[in-house]
Amino acid sequence: MIRLKFSTGLFRNWPIFILFAVVTAACEQEQASHDDIVKADLLVIIDSLGSPCGEVLEYQSNSELGYLIHCKSGDEYLISVDPQGRVGMESRK
């Protein structure tokens, strides 16, 4: 009869695995507010365009698909979408 030894090898840390699985599953449950989602998305956009930000402190939606963003780094950016669907960003610092 095969007996798994939970006290040795890989299974020695099984409580940690279970805790990790529970925490991961809990994180999958979406709790973020709309404001948090927009800030996170704007940070990804700024990062993708290769500019520093650190964290989006606040933003103003100033037109259709246009945002004025204030970053933790002190930078200010204006993100907009042009008529050809290109996303552009200009620094306001």
Partner 1 sequence: MIRATENDKLSYRMPLVSRTKLVCCLFPVIVMAVFLSLPVIAHDPNAPRSGCPPVEEEIIDLQILADMLANTKAVSLFTKLSLKKDINKVLKRLNQFHDGKSNFTLEQLEEQYNLLLMKIAIHLQDNDLALHRHLCNAWLVIWEDLRDFDRFKEQHS
Cβ burial 47-59 (10 Å sphere, 16+ → b, else e):
eeeeeebeebeeb
> What are the DSSP E strand ranges found in 22-93?
56-63, 66-71, 76-81, 87-91
CA-to-CA distance for 29 and 31, rounded, in angstroms?
6
- Interacting positions 16-45 with partner 1 (CB under 8 A): 30, 34, 37-38, 41-42, 44-45
Q: How far is the CB of 67 from partner 1 (least distance, A)?
A: 9
Residues in contact with partner 1, shown as a per-residue x/- string from 51 to 90 under the rule CB under 8 A: ----------x--xxx------------xxxxxxxxx---
User: What is the rounded CA–CA span in Å between residue 24 and residue 35?
Assistant: 23
State which residue, 41 or 58, has the beta carbon closest to partner 1.
41
**In whole angstroms, how close is the CB of 32 to partner 1 at the nearest point?**
10
Residues that bind partner 1 (CB under 8 A): 30, 34, 37-38, 41-42, 44-45, 48-49, 61, 64-66, 79-87
